[in-house]
Amino acid sequence: MLASAHGLRWGIERRLEFIEFRLFWEGGLNRSDIVDEFGVSVPQASKDLTLYQEQAPDNIRYDRSQKRYFASERFKPTFISLDADAYLEHLTAPLQSRETLRFESPANSPFGADKLPIPQRRIKPDVLRSMLGCVRENRSIEILYQSMSATRPEPIWRRISPHAFASDGLRWHTRAFCHIDQKFKDFILSRCMGTRLPDAAGASSSDDPLWTKYVPVALCPNPRLTISQRKVIAEDFAMENGEVVVPVRQALLYYFSKRLRLDVADRFDDPSEIPVVVKNQAAFDIALSEAMR
């Protein structure tokens, strides 16, 4: 049986990684979580928790009232690396294997593959963890945030009530109620330099209609393309009858428009630069205007 760097069998270490993952990122766990994830018996799950306590005694505490294990204040990772980007990727693909959190292809993989390197926005794990806790417990928190606004050239502490996370494909945001501006806004996670003073929430996700409402965006091939080009674009985007309807959260319409360059479709002389355009433009513009208020 293969042994790990910790001198443990691979299967055992995988379960210890899972325990640590749940403790740090997801607010705790109990024996049933291990049973459900790995299909082991309840006694084996109890042994795994005992072994983890032996391996990392300062990391874990048990709450008898909740019958649940939580991360201690002195938590330091032993079996996992604290990678905020990897956890957020996990959120976007919850049905994938947890192996995706490792981001390493096998050395003998027969496939040649790559991903366009894009400079990563550095997100502080403790900042993300604090916000995850606030979302989970419906609380607010103060963040030290660096805005790009000319009126706020220096970072300031501001209280927000986060309720969700979203990626525009290049950077991660938290969707939150801003206690200063008294409205829901997006805050770029990599610009959150610190957190402090969790408190009662100022609003919840149910108060954010722009997040809960989906806008059907009808896309069609750019009519300035040739017939043959429009046909291949329709196939490329899996269109039916020359269009595809994409449901987009109203709060994310701005990013959707930017990512597909829909906002500059009329500025390019070469239609191949903008292969798809919005078919229901009037409704799209109204929804986008509401989202930008």
- Within-domain flag for 88: no
- 217 and 263 in a single domain? The answer is yes
Q: What is the CATH number of the domain that holds 155?
A: 2.30.30
- 227 and 255 in a single domain? The answer is yes
- Distance between CA 215 and CA 281 in Å, rounded? 12
- 195 and 145 in a single domain? The answer is yes
- Within-domain flag for 28: yes
Place of tokens 């428009």: 257
- 142 and 200 in a single domain? The answer is yes
CA nearest neighbour of 253 among 290, 223, 227: 290
Number of domains in the chain: 3
Please tell me the pTM assigned to this model: 0.77
- 176 and 230 in a single domain? The answer is no
Query: What angle, rounded to 10 degrees, do the helices at 10-25 and 125-137 form?
Result: 70
Predicted pLDDT at 251: 97
Express as a percent the part of the chain with pLDDT over 70: 89
Task: Enter the tokens of residue 119.
Answer: 């400079």
> Mean pLDDT in the chain?
89
Does residue 288 register a pLDDT over 70? yes
CB 186 within 8 A of CB 228: no
- Within-domain flag for 2: no
Q: What is the CATH number of the domain that holds 59?
A: 1.10.10.10
- 217 and 285 in a single domain? The answer is yes
- 179 and 219 in a single domain? The answer is no
User: Of 81, 99, 114, which residue constitutes the final position of a domain?
Assistant: 81
User: Of 154, 169, 204, which residue constitutes the final position of a domain?
Assistant: 204
DSSP 8-class letter at 129: H
- Within-domain flag for 117: no
State the residue range of the domain holding 44. Answer: 10-81
- Within-domain flag for 154: yes
Predicted pLDDT at 116: 67
State pLDDT tens for residues 214-273: 999 999 999 999 999 999 999 999 999 999 999 999 999 999 999 999 988 778 778 888
Could you give the C-alpha distances from 217 to 193, 225, 247, 252, 279, in angstroms and in order? 35, 20, 6, 12, 8
pLDDT (mean) for 197-218: 96
Predicted pLDDT at 110: 45
User: Of 163, 187, 204, which residue constitutes the final position of a domain?
Assistant: 204
- 183 and 231 in a single domain? The answer is no
- Distance between CA 134 and CA 213 in Å, rounded? 23
Of the ranges 21-25, 118-122, 171-175, 287-291, which one carries the lowest mean pLDDT score? 118-122
- Within-domain flag for 111: no
- Within-domain flag for 116: no
CB 185 within 8 A of CB 178: yes
Predicted pLDDT at 269: 79
Predicted pLDDT at 86: 81
- Distance between CA 274 and CA 64 in Å, rounded? 59
Residues 6 or more apart whose CB falls under 8 angstroms from that of 278 comprise: 217, 218, 219, 262, 265, 284
- Within-domain flag for 240: yes
